Amino acid sequence: MRRKLVISLLNAVALVFLHLIYFNMNLNVPLEDELITAINKTEKYFTDSRNLDTGFLFINTSENNALVPVDGENGSMPNRVIADRMLLGRLFQKLADHGNRHRYILCDLAFDTPSPQDSFFSAQLNRLSRIILPAHADYETGEITRPLFGKKWALADYVTFEGKVSKIMLYSRKDRQKTLPLVMYEECNGSPSGISLTGLWSSNSYIPFSIYPRYYFNDESIKQYEMRLDEVVHMLDLNDRIFYENILKGRIIVIGNFANDIHVTAVGFMSGSLVLFNSYLTLEAKYHMYPWSWLLYSLTCFCALSYWELFYKKEKKETAWHAVLRFFGLTGFCIVLSLLSDFVFRIHTTVIPVIIYFQVILLCSRLFKFK
């Protein structure tokens, strides 16, 4: 009996190690995608965005655009649509004039094309504090497209599965860069995380390189907190101090194109700016923190599962407990463990590594006739 328990515990340790590898891989598979989609949709019924802190404002730039010429083929100068940087500059000017008393600004706009207004815009941008801009890495070449302006930036790329946003990278090992949601979380909370070969560490908790985001807001639920860029600038021109004190002061301000920059997520279509903001809120809810209690839970569950698959299952017993386990099977038991982990620890324990592991173990035992 002792030998069986030791072997089961060793297999449990191996499964935890496989999970650490899988957590840090920027990929997803069909069964995992279906599970996390079901969990996200279930949580939407219990998480009402109206119950969240209202300390944020969404500024939509989709109707405030400008055309700028860019270099094309054969010397042509086609126009490209960008956000109106004069309006943005005026907004930043007002925020700076009031002493930068906002909490944070997530400005999810591409600043990779020069415009005639860049001199004014850059001057006002440099007066701002607590703002972050997005950068993007080319998948094939790895080249990072940074903003033209010398302000804090971070990678804002997603892991997709069949065109759907699946995971959010917190740290890109390829580029050796923390990504935008994590940088924003660390700056808002003053809790920088350390980097190791196996993941990130903060407050004695383990943080994987990638997480599954939860979705608190969609494009419909932000309507009560959303304003157009020109509306915000106009209200600041009309009633500067009162509008600032009531609408902008102390808030997280999310600036982006909520109409055109659209992605497919586990809960439907959503703008890229909201994917990033929901990812930040996922971190605020501590979904990325893996405590020691989860490790104990995983070792216990994996040890029991190993004992069942390797030993108990082969014994001819007709108890009710034996019948229940046979009914659920390996996949069913893994799904139950995953759902419990999600709702108790807010950690999605993956199913695929467990199933593959035991299939390999059982196959080897048949080939080499292990007992």
Q: Which residue has the higher pLDDT, 30 or 5?
A: 5
**Phi-psi region at 206: left, alpha or beta (left = phi > 0; alpha = psi -120 to 50):** beta
pLDDT of residue 295 exceeding 60: yes
Question: Has residue 40 been placed in a domain?
Answer: no
In this structure, are 157 and 303 located in the same domain? no
Token duo for residue 83: 């956000």
pLDDT single digits (tens) 61-106? 999 988 887 766 555 557 788 899 999 999 999 999 999 999 999 9
Among 114-128, 155-169, 240-254, which stretch is predicted with the lowest mean pLDDT? 155-169
pLDDT reported for residue 49: 47
Provide the pLDDT for residue 97. 95
Instruction: Please indicate whether residue 133 or residue 52 has the higher confidence score (pLDDT).
Output: 133
**Helical pair 320-345 and 352-368, crossing angle rounded to 10 deg:** 140
Burial of 60 (0-12, 13-18, 19+ CB in 10 A): buried
Domain extent, residue 255, equals 47-284
H helices present in the chain, as ranges:
2-23, 30-46, 85-97, 118-127, 180-189, 229-238, 240-243, 272-284, 292-310, 320-345, 352-368
Structural domain includes residue 39: no
Q: What is the pLDDT of residues 176-227, one digit of tens each?
A: 889 999 999 999 988 888 888 778 888 778 888 888 888 888 888 888 889 9
Last residue within a domain, chosen from 263, 284, 305:
284
Q: What is the pLDDT of residues 145-183, one digit of tens each?
A: 889 898 999 998 777 766 778 788 898 888 888 999 999
Q: Which of 268, 284, 300 is the last residue of a domain?
A: 284
pTM above 0.95, yes or no: no
Ramachandran category for residue 239: left, alpha or beta (phi over 0 → left; psi -120 to 50 → alpha): beta
Number of domains in the chain: 2
The residue out of 258, 284, 310 marking a domain boundary is: 284
Same domain, 259 and 347: no
Average pLDDT over residues 342-348: 78
What confidence tier does 241 reach under pLDDT thresholds 50, 70, 90?
Answer: very high
Instruction: Looking at the structure, tell me whether residues 355 and 217 fall in a common domain.
Output: no
Mean pLDDT along residues 116-137: 93
